[in-house]
Amino acid sequence: MTHYRYSIKILPGATVCEDCTLEGDITIGGGTVIHPRVTIIAEGGPIIIAEYCIIEEYSTIIHKKNEQPENPPKPLFIGAHNVFEVGCRLESLCGHIGESNVFECKSFVGTDVKIGSGCVIGAACSLTTPQTLPDNTVIWGSEHNNREALEKQPSQLLQLDFLGKVMPNYHRLRKSNVHKRQMSRQSQEPAKS
Amino acid sequence: MAYLTQPDYVKYACSCGQIKPITSLYFCRHCLQIRCGFCICHEVDSHYCANCLENMPSSEARLKKNRCSSCFDCPSCFHTLSTRATLAQPRQTPEQGSGDSKVENKQAKKMYYLSCFNCRWTSRDVGIPDQPVASGGWPERVNPNATRINQLLDYYKAIAQQEKQEKLDRERKKFAIRGKYITLTDKTGLTGAMARNIAGLPSSESTMSAIANFVPSEASADVEELSEDFYTKELNLNQMTSMPQRLAAPEWQPSSVSRLYPIAKLLSVKRSQRCRACDHNLTKPEYNPGSIKFKIELLAFYHVPEVKIISYEPIKPGCTSALLLKLTNPTGHEMQVRLLQPEEVPDTEDRLEEPKSLEKSLEKSLNLEKDNLWYETVQRKADVTATCRVVTPDVTLTLAQRDDAAEYDDDATHDANDIILWRKSNKLALRLQVSCGAEVGAASAAEAALALQYRYRNTVPAAHEPRDHTLHATLLLQLGHVSG
Ligand SMILES: [Zn+2]
Ligand SMILES: [Zn+2]
Ligand SMILES: [Zn+2]
Ligand SMILES: [Zn+2]
C-alpha cells in the first residue's frame, strides 16, 4: 500500500484536505477542491481529475478493477468543472467522464454508465444499468425522470474561489507535489486519447 | 413523531362511525363528542401564497384564478421556481467608436431568470428573455380560447339569471292566487324589470340577447392531416411532455418541452373547522399566513386520554396473551378512567338505532346545505367488531393531571399491582390480557376493541351546565397478525 502514496499527484492550485482516503495512482488537477472525508480509490487503474472540480464530503470515486485487466491499465478521466455533492458515489471501470456534470447528494453511478458533459444526476438517484447519458441530461426525483437541458450547468467558479480561500483556515491540506510544467503535459495527455 | 412515521396501531372511533388515529380527530367541547374531518364543516378563512406568504382577499383570489401573481412553479417537475441573478455583459458592437460609450457599456447589468433547483429547468430553456427586475414582469400568455370561454361564461350566467327569474315569477303567481293583497309592485306598476334596473342588475333584455346571440359550437369533420413523416420520424421522448405536465397548464396543454412555460403558483387556503351539530369552531387559524398557530384548537389529542401499545405477546387462536398499554392524561385535571367492553358504552340519546350506510353519509357530506338532518344521517355507530377481546378489569384508574415540570424527574412510582405496571406523572402503564377466539384463522389481522370511560372536566362550561362529565371513547388496537 505504501507505494501508492507516492503516486498521488497534486498539482499546484489544488486544495486537497489531508483527512481523506486516496489510494492508488491519482492525479488531481489545479483549482480542484477536495473536502475532508472523501474517498478516491484507483484500484483498477489511474484516476485523473481535471481542473476546477469540487468533491464534497463523504463522496466516493472508485476506479474498479476490470475482470480482464489491461496492460497498461486504462485511466479514469474526470473532466473539468465537475461537482460531486455530499455522499455521492461514482464507480467506474475506466473511461471518460465529461465536464460540468453535477452528481447531487447521495447519488450513485454504477460501473457501466457513460456520462457526457453537463449532466445532472439528481439527489439519491441511482444509475446501475449500462447506459450512456448524452450531454446535458438531467435526472431527478424518485422516479428518475429525465430531461435534456438546453445548456451546461453554470460553473461554480465563485464557490471554488471561496473554498480555496476558506479551507486552509480550517483544515490541514496536502501539499502539491508536481510542478506546473509537468501538470500541463499530464492533463493534456488523457484529453487527446 | 411516532404518529407521523409509523402506521396507526391505535385508532379511535369518531361519533360519525369513522375509525381514525387520535391525531386526526377533534373534540367538540360543547357537544363533548369526538369529531373528525369527515363529519365537520370546513370553511375557507383566507387565501395566501405558500411561497411569498402574501395574503389575498377571496374576491381578488377569484379574479386572479386562485394563483399568485409573483410566484411560479416549475412546468417540468412542479417544484417552486427560484429567481436567480446573473451579471449580463451588454453586447458590444464593434462600430461603437467613442470611449465614453465603451465605459458605459462595460457596466454589467443584473438580469434575472427563473430556475428550478430540483430538475434544473430554467426560463432560458424555453427562450424567455431575462428580466431586469427581480420579481414580476414575466410575460403573460393569453389563453387562446379566452374569447370563447368568456362567451360561454356570459351565456351560462344569462341562463342562470333567466331560471332564477322564472322561479321567482312562479313563486309570485302561487302567492298571488293565495293572497288577497296587492303587492306594492303590482299597485304602482313597478315591474320586475324596472326594479332590476334600479338595483343595477342586468336587465332581462340583455340576458335575452345574450342567450339569443349565443352560437353553439359545432363539431367538424375536418381534421388536420398528419405530416408525411409522422410514422417514420424517430421520436425523441426527451422532447415530449408528460401527461401531468400537459394537465398542469390546461389552457395550452403543450406537447413539446420547448413550450413549457412557468406556471403561476396556486394559492393555498387557511381553513377553520366547525362542528356541524353545534356550530362552534373546532379549529381557527391565526390570520397571518406566516403563523402556524391556532386561535382555537380543539384537538382530541388535548382532551381525550391517549392510549399507546407498549408491547404484546403473539396472539394465538384460543389463547390469552399479555398486552401492555400506556395511558396518558393530556388535560390539566385529574382523570378517572375505567376500561369497558365496547358494548357497554351507553348510546347517546340522539344517536339513531338503525345502521346507516357509509354511501348515504358520503352523499350527504357533499351536500352544502346545513341542517340537522344531515348530522343525523352521518352519525353512525362505529363498527368495532374485532377478532380479539381485551379482558377488562373492573377497576377505576386515576390519572394525574399533565404537569410539564414533572417531565424532568424520572423516578417512576411503583405502586404496581396485577394491572398497573408503573405510574409516572400523568402516564400509566397497564398489564392486560387479550383473549383470541379459537375459530380465528392464522395470519388474519389481530384486532382488539376497547372502550374507555373517563371523567372530563370542561374548563369553560356554559352557564347552568355541570363542569364534570363522564365520557366514553371506543378504540381499536392493531396487534399484528394471529400466529398459527
Ligand atoms: Zn367523524
Ligand atoms: Zn407568491
Ligand atoms: Zn423543476
Ligand atoms: Zn359541537
Element (H, E) at B20: strand B19-20
Distance CA B250, CA A31 (A): 48
Give A138's contacts in chain B (Cβ within 8 Å): 119-120
* ipTM value for the complex: 0.81
The residue of chain A with its CA nearest to that of B86 is A154
Chain A residues with CB under 8 Å of B242 CB are 145
- A141/B77 CB distance under 8 A: yes
Q: Which helix (H) or strand (E) holds B424?
A: strand B420-424
Best of B111, B130, B238, B243 to mutate (most A CBs within 10 Å, chain A): B238
Check: CATH 2.160.10.10 for A8-174?
yes
Instruction: State chain B's mean pLDDT as an integer.
Output: 82
Nearest to B303 by CA among B280, B331, B284, B322: B331
How would residue B327 be classed by pLDDT, with cut points 50, 70 and 90?
very high
What is the 3-class SS of B248-304, one letter each residue? HCCCCCCCEHHHCCCEEEECEEEEEEEECCCCCEEEEECCCCCCCCEEEECEHHHCC
Tell me, what DSSP letter sits at residue B122?
B
- Residues 227-266 (B) with a CB less than 8 A from some CB of A: 238-239, 242, 257
pLDDT value at residue B99: 46
Kindly report, residue by residue over B43-65, the tens digit of the pLDDT.
999 999 999 999 999 999 988 88
pLDDT at B174 over 90: no
**Within an 8 Å CB–CB cutoff, is residue B121 touching chain A?**
yes
Percentage above 70 pLDDT, chain A: 90
- List the 102-121 stretch of A: residues with Cβ below 8 A of B: 120
Nearest residue on chain A to B76, judged by CA atoms? A147
Give residue-wise pLDDT tens across range B359-411. Answer: 666 665 555 555 555 666 666 777 777 888 888 888 888 888 888 776 666 66
Ligand number, closest to the Cα atom of B275: 4
Beta-carbon separation of A141 and B119 below 8 A: yes
Q: Which pLDDT belongs to residue B241? A: 92
What's the mean pLDDT when you consider all of chain A? 87
Every domain of chain A and the residues it spans: 8-174
Cross-chain residue pair B238–A145, CB shorter than 8 Å: no
Q: Are B116 and B81 within 8 A, CB to CB?
A: yes
- The Cα–Cα gap between A4 and A19 comes to 16
Is the model more confident about B344 or about A16?
A16
Matching residue, cell 362542528? B275
Q: How far is the CA of B242 from the centre of ligand 3 (A)?
A: 13
- Among residues B107, B123, B18, the alpha carbon closest in space to that of B75 is found at B123
Q: Closest to A138 (Cβ–Cβ): which among B119, B239, B242?
A: B119
> B118 and A122 in contact by Cβ < 8 A?
yes
Low-confidence stretches of chain A (pLDDT beneath 50): 1-5, 183-193
pTM of the predicted protein model: 0.74
pLDDT, position B97: 45
Smallest CA–CA distance, residue B133 to chain A, in Å, is 21
Q: Which residues surround ligand 2, an ion (CB under 5 A)?
A: B 49, 51-52, 68, 71
The pLDDT of residue A33 is 95
Mutation target vs B (from A150, A151, A153; most B CBs, 10 A cutoff): A150
Q: Are the CB atoms for B18 and B382 separated by under 8 Å?
A: yes
